[in-house]
Structure 1
Amino acid sequence: MTILVTGATGHVGRLVVERLVEAGARVRAMTRAPRSARFPAGVEVVHGDLAEPPTLAGALAGVDRMYLFPVAQTAREVVDQAKRAGVRRFVVLSSGAVTGGFDTDFHLPVERAVEESGLEWTHVRPGEFMLNRLWLWGPSIRSESVVHEPFPEVSWCPVHERDIAEVAAAALLRDGHHGRAYDLNGPELISRRDQVRAIASAIGRYVRLDVVTPAQAREIYLKQGGFAADNADFLLGFETYSGDEADPESIEELDLATLGPLPTAEQVTGRPGRSFAQWARDHAVDLRADHHRIA
């Protein structure tokens, strides 16, 4: 049995590869830049681009199961090609926004493509990634030991990327997950103020919380570039998931405590989800001033 991991150099994909290798599976990692990719010993590294399905022929040869990174535009063509090649099981990296009805254009088309293939499928739907804090706050923490945040008291249950990967790997390796869509959150409702405190504890130095307006935060994120700039309007409440105009104050009005316990990786792995404090410790080196490369 060969398992193909697409998006294998991504923040979840690379962890899926690691977990599958630990379990003794035969793993093929697909990337657009195989020469520069680094994976555990024994992983077969191949070239392929989900945006260009004709490049997948070699990567799909002999594959039984597939971890599918979401590329909506080519999802049906990719799934059809995989089916013809002999793939029998798909695990899709999706989003909790599908469950909430907010995502109709990005992850949902990929889910539908695999569901309509007639093959085995499982959807992994994480909510907010803990990693977002690294992309949004990391630069200012490293350079100034400060976090610029407009909503310090807003709480959520962000999820550790390793929990996402472990659920995906379990669905790839074991039976009993066909037809399931797993919503994944972290195990605790934690405010952004307390997230800053957890990061400060993990890196061993004081991190100041600078409360700014949403407009000021947007200006900071746009100057910062990268993930922060690309997602500033959505993350700060200026637009909805679908890109429509919104009011940032709606973020503060959302009280997740009324929802009760939210599903975590424990339902699949049998192990409690990782806390934000654990995530901060795992990424302490990425958040310190002397380290600018994401491990």
Structure 2
Amino acid sequence: MHVVIGSTGSVGREATEQLLAAGEKVAAVTRDPAAVLPEGARMVLGDPSRPDGPTALPDGVESILLSPRAVGGATAALLSLAADRGARRVVVLSAATVVHPAGERRFAEQFRAVEAAAEESGLAWTFLRCADFAANALAWAPQIRAAGIVRGAYAAATSSPIHHRDIAEVAVRAMVDPEHAGRAYVLTGPQPLDQRDRVRIIGEAVGRDLVFQELAPEQIRQGMLAQGLPEEIPDRLLGSLADYAQSPGPSTDTVERLLGRPARSFAAWAADNAGAFEE
């Protein structure tokens, strides 16, 4: 039995589906009793960010996939509970900024704190330090559908966005194969892209000429706050973009080395998700 924390997120859902397709049993933890999970997954209700959260974890747990954003400060308690249910391995969805600093350090420190709790848990650990998700571009969908213009800050910000399916596939391997224990992998997409590159590629996927219009960072910040987003969201986004405009984020071949094939490109992601950007 494998436990997925963050089972309704893009990586967690994909990992759940891949485990089930491989014939593995999966317990999917969610705080939402109405959550729609992949067929065959066992729902475990509970808030993983609370020490008294998912107490109904089944016995016979082999591994646990952990999303720090779903767990918050309850990592140690959750891993102790998983260990009591037999867990031997934990795979942490961490961030590349832990070892390649960008943006406000406090955000990387939140990931590092979860890594530290995993190291101290007594479980065999694997850290997947991921670059920014290609799926973050879905935030542009309303602007693209409405006018074909993306208004954002730091047009030159460059990183190598990764497809969530690649992260999930690496995560599943680490969950079922103990040879990945004690490894920390920096996972990125195959190609550095700036903001204009990404908008252009989405345009190619939907057959439209799209434009990236650069605005002042403070203007973007105020716009996000006006939408009701918490301050953490623009702080996290704009801090990273500012640094990546000065120096590109990391680009690795780790996905290819681990999976035996090239990492999926941003163009592949855009083609997969073209419908979200179409009028």
TM-score past 0.5 threshold: yes
Equivalence for 1:128: 132
Q: 1:87-140 CA deviation, whole Å, 9 max, x = no partner? A: 1111111111212364553111211112122221111110111122212x2221
Counterpart of 1:94 in structure 2: which amino acid?
Answer: S
User: 2:185 is matched with which residue: 182, 192, 198?
Assistant: 182
TM-score relative to the length of structure 2: 0.89
Change (3 A) 1:263 1:226: farther
Greater RCO structure (CA 8 Å; 6+ sep): 2
Equivalence for 1:234: 236
For residues 3 and 28 of structure 2, the distance between their equivalents in structure 1, rounded to whole angstroms, comes to 6
For residues 154 and 53 of structure 2, the distance between their equivalents in structure 1, rounded to whole angstroms, comes to 44
Q: 1:15-59 CA deviation, whole Å, 9 max, x = no partner? A: 11011112111111111113x222332211121211223232212
Query: Is the CA contact (8 Å cut-off) linking 1:149 and 1:210 kept in structure 2?
Result: yes
Counterpart of 2:130 in structure 1: which amino acid?
Answer: P
User: 2:205 is matched with which residue: 192, 202, 207?
Assistant: 202
User: For 1:57, what is the secondary structure of its paired residue?
Assistant: coil
TM-score relative to the length of structure 1: 0.85
Query: Which of structure 1's runs of 4+ aligned residues deviate more than 6 A?
Result: none
Counterpart of 1:222 in structure 2: which amino acid?
Answer: L
1:274 aligns with 2:244: no
CA RMSD of aligned residues (A): 2.1
Counterpart of 2:236 in structure 1: which amino acid?
Answer: F
For residues 87 and 42 of structure 2, the distance between their equivalents in structure 1, rounded to whole angstroms, comes to 17
Counterpart of 1:144 in structure 2: which amino acid?
Answer: A
1:1-295 to structure 2, matched below 5 A, reads 2-34=1-33, 36-70=34-68, 71-100=71-100, 102=105, 103=107, 105-135=109-139, 137-226=140-229, 230-237=232-239, 250-255=243-248, 261-289=251-279
Query: Is the CA contact (8 Å cut-off) linking 2:44 and 2:54 kept in structure 1?
Result: no
| CA deviation after TM superposition for structure 1 residue 225, in Å | 4.1
Query: Is the CA contact (8 Å cut-off) linking 2:155 and 2:245 kept in structure 1?
Result: no
For residues 125 and 58 of structure 2, the distance between their equivalents in structure 1, rounded to whole angstroms, comes to 17
The percent identity for this pair of structures is 38
Counterpart of 2:176 in structure 1: which amino acid?
Answer: L
For residues 104 and 125 of structure 1, the distance between their equivalents in structure 2, rounded to whole angstroms, comes to 10
Query: Is the CA contact (8 Å cut-off) linking 1:29 and 1:43 kept in structure 2?
Result: yes
For residues 162 and 191 of structure 2, the distance between their equivalents in structure 1, rounded to whole angstroms, comes to 9
| CA deviation after TM superposition for structure 1 residue 157, in Å | 0.7
For residues 243 and 3 of structure 2, the distance between their equivalents in structure 1, rounded to whole angstroms, comes to 41
For residues 159 and 60 of structure 1, the distance between their equivalents in structure 2, rounded to whole angstroms, comes to 32
Query: Is the CA contact (8 Å cut-off) linking 2:192 and 2:248 kept in structure 1?
Result: no
Query: Is the CA contact (8 Å cut-off) linking 1:72 and 1:105 kept in structure 2?
Result: no
**Unmatched 5+ stretches in structure 2:** none
Paired residues in the alignment total 273
Counterpart of 2:125 in structure 1: which amino acid?
Answer: W
User: For 1:67, what is the secondary structure of its paired residue?
Assistant: strand
